Chain A
Amino acid sequence: MSDLLGAIGQAWPRLLCYPGGVSAALAALLLARLRGVRLIDPPSANRLIDLILPLGAISLLPLPLATTFPYSLDLPTALTLLIWPGLRRAATERHSAHQLSVYLPLVLGGIALSSATATFDLGGLLRWPAEPTRQATLLLGAAAWIVAVPRIAPPSPDAAMVCSGLGLMLIGTLPLIAALNATPLADSAPAWLIAALAVCIATGALIGAGRLPEWAVQLLAGLALVSAGVAAVEMR
Chain B
Amino acid sequence: MRLLPFDPLLALTRLIGIALAISGILLLIPVQRQPFTTANGLILVDGLSCLALGTAGLLVVAAPVHARRIGQLFALGVAIVSGHLGGLALGLLLVCFLSEHIWNRLAGIGLASGYLLIGWFASSWRLPFSGDGLNSVSFLLLLTGAALASGALDLPSDQPVTLDPLVALAGFAALLRLFSVGPWNLGWQLATLLVGVALALSAAWRAVNALEPSSAEEWIQRSIGGLILAATGCASPAGVVAAGLLLWHVSLRRLAQPAAGTNAWAGWLLAGAVPGSLGFVALWSVSAAAMTAGVAALAMGVWAAALLLMLAAGRQITGSGRWRSTTGALVGLALGLLAPILTRWMLRPLSDHLQGGLTPYGAIEPWGWAGLLALNAASRTTATAPGLALLGLMIVIGALAWVLSRWRKWI
Chain A residues near B (Cβ < 8 Å): 1, 3-5, 7-8, 11, 15-16, 20-21, 42-45, 48-49, 51-53, 55-56, 59-60, 71-74, 76-77, 79-81, 83-84, 87-88, 90-92, 94, 97, 100, 103, 107, 110-111, 114-115, 118-121, 225, 228-229, 232, 235
Set of chain B residues within 8 Å of A103, measured between Cβ atoms: 304, 307
Contact between B393 and A120 (Cβ–Cβ < 8 Å)? no
Residue from the set A1, A55, A90, A121 with the largest chain B CB neighbour count within 10 Å: A121
Contact between B382 and A119 (Cβ–Cβ < 8 Å)? yes
Set of chain B residues within 8 Å of A71, measured between Cβ atoms: 367, 370-371, 384, 386, 389-390
Contact between B300 and A114 (Cβ–Cβ < 8 Å)? yes
A223 to chain B, nearest CB (A): 15
Contact between B284 and A76 (Cβ–Cβ < 8 Å)? yes
The main secondary structure of chain A at its interface with chain B is helix
Which residues, 146 to 180 on B, are CB-close (under 8 Å) to A? Answer: none
Contact between B296 and A228 (Cβ–Cβ < 8 Å)? yes
Set of chain A residues within 8 Å of B383, measured between Cβ atoms: 74, 76, 119-121
A120 CA to B300 CA, complexed, in Å: 9
Select B314's contact among A16, A51, A83, A88, beta carbons within 8 Å: A88
Select A107's contact among B288, B300, B401, beta carbons within 8 Å: B300
Contact between A73 and B384 (Cβ–Cβ < 8 Å)? yes
Set of chain A residues within 8 Å of B299, measured between Cβ atoms: 114, 120
A235 CA to B317 CA, complexed, in Å: 44
Contact between A72 and B401 (Cβ–Cβ < 8 Å)? no
Which residues, 285 to 344 on B, are CB-close (under 8 Å) to A? Answer: 287-288, 291, 294-297, 299-301, 303-304, 306-308, 310-311, 314-315, 317
Select B369's contact among A1, A43, A88, beta carbons within 8 Å: A1
A89 to chain B, nearest CB (A): 10
B-side interface size class: 35 or more
29 examples of A-B residue contacts, CB within 8 angstroms = A4-B369, A5-B392, A43-B410, A48-B398, A48-B411, A52-B394, A72-B384, A76-B284, A76-B287, A76-B383, A77-B390, A80-B280, A87-B273, A87-B314, A90-B314, A90-B315, A92-B314, A100-B311, A103-B307, A107-B303, A110-B300, A110-B303, A114-B296, A114-B300, A118-B382, A119-B380, A120-B374, A229-B297, A235-B294
Contact between A8 and B396 (Cβ–Cβ < 8 Å)? yes
Set of chain A residues within 8 Å of B273, measured between Cβ atoms: 80, 84, 87
Does B23 reach chain A (CB closer than 8 Å)?
no
Apart from A52-B398, A111-B301, A119-B380: 4 A-B pairs, beta carbons within 8 A: A87-B314, A88-B314, A107-B300, A114-B291
A96 to chain B, nearest CB (A): 8
Chain B residues near A (Cβ < 8 Å): 205, 208-209, 268, 273, 275, 280, 284, 287-288, 291, 294-297, 299-301, 303-304, 306-308, 310-311, 314-315, 317, 367-371, 374, 376, 380-386, 388-390, 392-394, 396-398, 400-402, 405, 408, 410-411
Set of chain B residues within 8 Å of A91, measured between Cβ atoms: 311, 314-315, 317
Select B389's contact among A7, A16, A83, A118, beta carbons within 8 Å: A7
A73 CA to B287 CA, complexed, in Å: 14
Contact between A8 and B389 (Cβ–Cβ < 8 Å)? yes
Select B405's contact among A48, A49, A94, beta carbons within 8 Å: A48
Set of chain B residues within 8 Å of A81, measured between Cβ atoms: 275
Set of chain A residues within 8 Å of B301, measured between Cβ atoms: 111
A175 CA to B288 CA, complexed, in Å: 21
- Chain B residue nearest in CB terms to A1: B369
Residue from the set B295, B371, B394 with the largest chain A CB neighbour count within 10 Å: B394
Contact between B208 and A97 (Cβ–Cβ < 8 Å)? yes
Contact between A15 and B405 (Cβ–Cβ < 8 Å)? no
- Chain B residue nearest in CB terms to A77: B275
A196 to chain B, nearest CB (A): 25
Set of chain A residues within 8 Å of B374, measured between Cβ atoms: 120
Select B393's contact among A44, A59, A100, A225, beta carbons within 8 Å: A59
Contact flag A232-B410 (CB < 8 Å), given A52-B398, A120-B288: no
Contact flag A43-B401 (CB < 8 Å), given A72-B384, A77-B275, A120-B382: yes
